[in-house]
Amino acid sequence: MEQVRLFIALTLSILLQWAVRSIAEPLAYIDFPLIVVVYAALQGNTIRALFLATIAGISIDALSGGLLGANGFSKTLVVYLASEIARRVYMENLLLRVLLLASLSLIHGFVYYGVHRLLGQTMTDDFLSLIFYYTLATTIAGVFLFIILDTLILEGLSGVKKYEFFSIRRQPRRRNPIRLGRRL
């Protein structure tokens, strides 16, 4: 069920991205599919997240003036990084997730720009400010979207998740002094 909900969320985000420029020009700085695929990567199933990232990227590229596959490439890379970090770091806290999204948006922006330049495409000279606004807008939107996605995908209608705004202090297991003694 979680898989279906994630797929629906991704489809909606792609449709929203296609139409967002008709609603308001500044909203185009937000990368809605990126937020959803990073969220999918944080759920633990890397394989599913990787496929979703490629699908989302190519869907956006289809209607964009950029190279077909450039978004797919950068999103796949970013999702892999996200899942590798989620494997090693406890990411259930919203602040950490937002920080991660900001870093990944930044990487995504640079990779997207880089692959275009690598393949001889002319891009805007003012790419630094574009990446800055892109990162800022995507991160701000990500804060709200992560809460919405958690509510809709993980809990469904059963209840709202209690957010851990600060990470839980991990308590190490106390070792048995008798066993320690035996070893000695």
- Binding residues for another protein, per CB under 8 A? 15, 17-23, 25, 28-29, 31, 44-47, 50-51, 53-54, 57-73, 76-77, 80, 83, 87, 112-113, 115-116, 119-126, 130, 133-134
Which residues is 164 bridged to in the sheet?
Answer: 93
Residue 2, amino acid: E
Is the Cβ of residue 89 or residue 175 nearer to another protein in the bound state?
Answer: 89
Is the Cβ of residue 113 or residue 146 nearer to another protein in the bound state?
Answer: 113
Nearest approach, Cβ of residue 23 and another protein (Å): 6
Which residues is 93 bridged to in the sheet?
Answer: 164
Cβ atoms of 79 and 50 within 8 Å: the answer is: yes
Nearest approach, Cβ of residue 167 and another protein (Å): 22
* Rounded CA separation 137/38 (Å): 15
Nearest approach, Cβ of residue 149 and another protein (Å): 20
Instruction: Name the DSSP class of 134.
Output: H
Is the Cβ of residue 51 or residue 151 nearer to another protein in the bound state?
Answer: 51
* Rounded CA separation 85/80 (Å): 9
Is the Cβ of residue 27 or residue 94 nearer to another protein in the bound state?
Answer: 27
SS3 80: helix
Give me 158's structure tokens: 């059963």
Nearest approach, Cβ of residue 170 and another protein (Å): 20
